[in-house]
Amino acid sequence: MATTHTYDAVIVGAGGAGLRAALEASQHVRTAVISKLYPTRSHTGAAQGGMCAALANVEEDTWEWHAFDTVKGSDFLADQDSVDVMCREAIDAVIDLEHWGMPFNRTPDGRVDQRRFGGHTRAHGEAPVMRACYAADRTGHMILQTLYQQCVKQGVEFYNEFYLLDMIVSGGRVAGLVAYELATGELHVFRCKTALLATGGFGRMFRVTSNAHALTGDGPAVALRRGLPLEDMEFFQFHPTGLYGIGILLSEAARGEGGVLRNATGERFMERYAPSIKDLAPRDMVSRAIYFEVKEGRGAGPKKDYVLLDVTHLGKELIEEKLPDITEFARIYLGVEPLREGVPVVPTAHYAMGGIPTDNDARVVSDETNTVFPGLYAAGECACVSVHGGNRLGTNSLLDIIVFGRRGGLSMVEDARRLDFAPMPEEPERDAKAILARLAEGPEPHAVPEIRAELQHSMDENASVFRTDELLREQENALGLLRERYAERAGVQDRSRAFNTDLMEAFELGCLLDLAETLVAAARARTESRGGHYRGDFPKRNDKRWLKHSLAWKSGDAVRLGYKPVRLGRYKPVERKY
């Protein structure tokens, strides 16, 4: 028997989006946050660079310029009304954080300081603008801490180390959630009027990734299994400067401060790919350039499989002061001294632009005509509003979680006051229990790490920076075999109840497999190149046919695709040149 809890609002995930929603909802309705990590362990804490808002504290700026940059960066796939909402509310989002104690860096006159960041410009691309508010090189860490501190102050109720396993749908709306308590192995049913998914990304379907081990997309996978579509799954951002071998991120700040990328011959190859802004081209373009350098035999190292991020000309003082992360990560993890030598880097799976489709109030929508699915909300990386379209600009993820986390919280309050509880089926935890029972009984206790390794390796090979129909077809086949083995054979070694992370890793792998399948199906269908989705066999953007969002449903063992229009606005799609 599961333990049952009753709340007006339940939030899954305690990163920036979940905590921001909780601060809003818990003021007005009975709210709980369930999170598979202690809140301060969430991956929001890994974000370094900043959070953009047109405060104009340092130089002239307007939220409309910010919106233009966001739309252009998205390769015109973002919904422009949603981008307007985000960029307009960015200013208050920063001020709210400051009032809560966020330790932003300051200007000499004591205001929030701002600095330049990739893709952010004044007057529609005229020149770089100082728009990114920041706290040293740990902006995400400070946002996460500040939000958690305020949750402690407000007495928000947390269920830490609880894993989301299932969502209970009854009469076409959310009736509750089922979660697994890691400490005891017990199932819990959270009966609720409203539920917000804020579970973050799912970069762990790739081998080389900047994402935390916990980022397995449990929220989107559960929504998908309960009949909801996922939007724009083919758009995944590969950050150009992941540390070779492990994928840990070296911030864009390294190139912002003057660092350059070089191939094996020492050539600054970005001069060939983006003659005007070179190493500061958008992330998708730089990642592709690295891919081609390696593919064409100009990679560095014994296996010729990486390029070098060179900061040696910047001088010790600047490197130590402004790029402490790069020096620390390179020294600790690669034993490389960036003051003297190039740091080996490769593109690393970084950010899912796609996810659970929502409207501008974080309400989940379930079809091509944006019909609201009552009682369900999503915010942050696991959601797709869409404000990032085909490629997210740096700093806009921290902004997204604050703006849409808040909006999600407000929507939950509004709807929880209006809605009643949906009727709860008999034994609501039955399906979740069945999933765990099957994994506990699977005949291959070593299968999970093996399947996961094959998933990650094959996704890197076939469905990452460079895609073709042939590669994606190969990946569809590979996923079919992995799914079959997972469904029929995968088991666990640990049979105990307390802290059975073996069992939870097995559950998480199932989520990754489901999401990888939607990504590959949507990527194979989209016969164009746009933002983070690059097709070697269709290297140009095709607005006539593809200026639209994909929706992917799970349909038995297959994926069914649909499409919905992009909401355009002031900016007409033009070729993206830098």
Partner 1 sequence: MPGPAGGEATIRVLRYDPDAGGAPRWQTYRVPYEPMDRVLDALHAIKWRADGTLAFRRSCGHGICGSDAMVINGQNALACKVLIKDLSQPITVEPIRGLPVHKDLVVDMEPFFDAYRKVLPFLVNDDPAPDRERLQSPADRARYDDTTKCILCAACTTSCPVFWGDGQYAGPAAIVNAHRFVFDSRDRASNERLAVLSDKVGAFRCRTVFNCTRACPRDIHVTRAIQEVKSEILKRRV
SS3 content of the chain, % helix, strand, coil (to 5): 40, 25, 40
Site residues, partner 1 (CB under 8 A): 37-38, 40-43, 45-46, 94-95, 98-101, 103-112, 135-136, 138, 141-142, 145-146, 149-150, 152-153, 183, 212-214, 244-246, 248, 301-302, 329, 332-336, 344, 445-446, 448-449, 492-494, 496-502
| Location of structure tokens 């009304």 | 81
C-alpha to C-alpha distance for 268 and 124, rounded to whole angstroms: 27
- Residue closer to partner 1 by CB (options 448, 566) is 448
CA distances, 354 to each of 282, 551, 555 (Å):
18, 10, 19
- Distance of closest approach, residue 49 Cβ to partner 1, in angstroms: 14
- Distance of closest approach, residue 117 Cβ to partner 1, in angstroms: 19
C-alpha to C-alpha distance for 45 and 41, rounded to whole angstroms: 7
256 close to 374: Cβ distance less than 8 angstroms: no
- Distance of closest approach, residue 447 Cβ to partner 1, in angstroms: 11
- Residue closer to partner 1 by CB (options 246, 339) is 246
- Residue closer to partner 1 by CB (options 348, 358) is 348
What is the DSSP track for 196-247?
EE-----GGGSSSBSS-TT-S-HHHHHHHHTT--EE-TT-EEEEEEEETTT-
Q: Backbone phi, then psi, for 497, in 5-degree steps?
A: -95, -40
Active site residue 283: yes
Amino acid at 573: P
C-alpha to C-alpha distance for 321 and 136, rounded to whole angstroms: 10
- Residue closer to partner 1 by CB (options 244, 486) is 244
- Distance of closest approach, residue 205 Cβ to partner 1, in angstroms: 16
- Residue closer to partner 1 by CB (options 14, 281) is 14
Q: Catalytic: which of 115, 255, 283, 406?
A: 283
- Distance of closest approach, residue 346 Cβ to partner 1, in angstroms: 12
C-alpha to C-alpha distance for 69 and 365, rounded to whole angstroms: 26
- Residue closer to partner 1 by CB (options 104, 553) is 104
C-alpha to C-alpha distance for 116 and 441, rounded to whole angstroms: 54
C-alpha to C-alpha distance for 560 and 370, rounded to whole angstroms: 17
- Distance of closest approach, residue 305 Cβ to partner 1, in angstroms: 10
- Distance of closest approach, residue 535 Cβ to partner 1, in angstroms: 31
134 close to 55: Cβ distance less than 8 angstroms: no
CA-derived radius of gyration, the chain: 23
C-alpha to C-alpha distance for 408 and 405, rounded to whole angstroms: 5
- Distance of closest approach, residue 353 Cβ to partner 1, in angstroms: 21
Q: Which residues lie across from 262 on neighbouring strands? A: 308
- Residue closer to partner 1 by CB (options 213, 417) is 213
Q: Which residues lie across from 132 on neighbouring strands? A: 52, 115
Q: Backbone phi, then psi, for 277, in 5-degree steps?
A: -110, 0
- Residue closer to partner 1 by CB (options 108, 556) is 108
- 542 contact partners, CB below 8 Å, separation of at least 6: 527, 528
Query: Among all residues, which ones are annotated catalytic?
Result: 283
